[in-house]
Amino acid sequence: MWEVCVELGGGAGVIVKGGLGLRFLFYFYFYFVGLFVFVEFMGFWVIVAAFVVLLMGKVFIFLYV
């Protein structure tokens, strides 16, 4: 099952669901060459992503498909 992460402001990413309650969030900024990887365990990646949003002034929309 895939989860799609969409950012307002020029970015996109994919959340890859894995086993043992782990998920890997691969996020890529098109206007800034870089790959950000977040490892989730029991929902903690949401907190990390929110913290990054506050630092970068971006708005994230998470679509669960």
* CA-closest candidate to residue 26, choices 50, 1, 59, 3: 3
**3 state SS of 20:** coil
Do 26 and 35 contact (CB within 8 A), yes or no?
yes
Chain-centroid distance, C-alpha 16: 10
Q: What is the pLDDT of residues 6-48, one digit of tens each?
A: 554 444 444 444 444 445 554 444 333 333 444 444 445 555 5
- The pLDDT value recorded for residue 48 is 54
Q: Of 53 and 29, which is predicted with more confidence?
A: 53
**Number of Cβ within a 10 Å radius of residue 58:** 15
